[in-house]
Amino acid sequence: MPQQQQELTFKEKFNFAWSLCLYHQRCLVIICRDRWGKNALGFPSALGLLMMVIWYMVTQDPFMLAWTGVWCIYQLKRRGEAVKLSGQVHSYSDGRSIDGDRFGMSEKTAKTVLEPIMFGLLGGFLYWVYDVNGWSVRGLPAFLLLGIFTLPAAEWAKQAAWERKLDAMADSRMESESLQRDYQDKYGN
């Protein structure tokens, strides 16, 4: 009897796409953010490293390998900072935009606008350099340019999840108050 293939639900597809955006985000912003939570640099960063290694293996771009080396140095630095900040920042905090502070922007604006523009400009510049030299632009330039889409997507999904948590807390508070009133009405206490 042939085995039937099961279709992925929309939620499963969304979670997979969001996970890829998150891993790609970690590949880029480790360098330009500080104040990371200790758990935020764990599994997503490891899969981000795997993503960079696979990208290098497919494109054979030596500058992609150089980016991965620089990223590893910053990963270790941010990991040390996160351990020192344990208990002071949320353990899953994805960092504070250093450049957002310089330009007086809110975190949300820095993460959804400034950082994608910065990586878009860097990727565009490298695209031009690679093109002028006749190198394949599928390596580091394409990897950085992809951040124009993945950085805002990862932040928007994170904000949507945060809003759901806030709604759940408000709902829980209202339910608790309603139960207390019902209890007082029923038992007179």
Contacts of 123 (CB under 8 A, 6+ apart): 140, 141, 142, 143, 144, 145, 146, 147, 148
Q: Whole-model pTM?
A: 0.81
User: pLDDT per residue over 110-124, tens digit each?
Assistant: 899 999 999 999 999
43 occurs within a structural domain: yes
Number of domains in the chain: 1
d(CA 163, CA 165): 5
Q: Is the dihedral of CA 119, 122, 125, 127 positive or negative?
A: negative
d(CA 165, CA 44): 21
16 occurs within a structural domain: yes
Q: If pLDDT is split at 50, 70 and 90, which confidence band does 173 have? A: confident
User: pLDDT per residue over 58-100, tens digit each?
Assistant: 999 999 999 999 999 999 999 999 999 888 888 888 888 887 7
| Minimum mean pLDDT range among 15-19, 77-81, 145-149 | 15-19
Q: Is 139 within 8 Å of 66 (Cβ atoms)?
A: no
| More confident: 161 or 41 | 41
The dihedrals phi and psi of 144, each to the nearest 5 degrees, come to -70, -40
4 occurs within a structural domain: no
5 occurs within a structural domain: no
> What H or E segment, with its residue span, contains residue 36?
strand 33-36
SS3 (DSSP) at 107: helix
1 occurs within a structural domain: no
* Selection from 2, 5, 7, 42 nearest residue 22 by Cα: 42
Domain of residue 166, residue span: 10-187
Q: If pLDDT is split at 50, 70 and 90, which confidence band does 6 have? A: confident
